[in-house]
Amino acid sequence: MELSERIRKIRMAYNLTQADVACRLDIAPSSYGQIERNAIKASCQTLLKVANAIGVSLTFLVDIESRNFVEDKNTG
């Protein structure tokens, strides 16, 4: 799975729209959409901001091998 696809699936699992996440990031929805479409390569800093906006850890967000889309905050 590509990172952009994982970001989209996690966002959807948390019942957030692209506009919701974009608002939390203080960017235009079209700019956020580029991240999910893999039209731009997001920096580590941007990925951290996306993770925070969705409410998951960066490690969980970038774990492209995982098939879980909702983070279990009770593990670890």
Residues in the chain, how many? 76
CB 60 within 8 A of CB 51: yes
| Rounded CA Rg of the chain | 11
Q: How far is CA 8 from the centre of its chain?
A: 6
What would the CATH number be for the domain defined by 3-62? Answer: 1.10.260.40
pLDDT at residue 46 greater than cutoff 60: yes
Half-sphere exposure of 28 (CA within 13 A, CB side): 3
pLDDT (average), residues 31-45: 94
Reported as a pLDDT band with limits 50, 70 and 90, residue 75 is low
pLDDT (average), residues 57-63: 96
Structure tokens at 5: 């696809």
- Return d(Cα 11, Cα 54) in angstroms, integer: 6
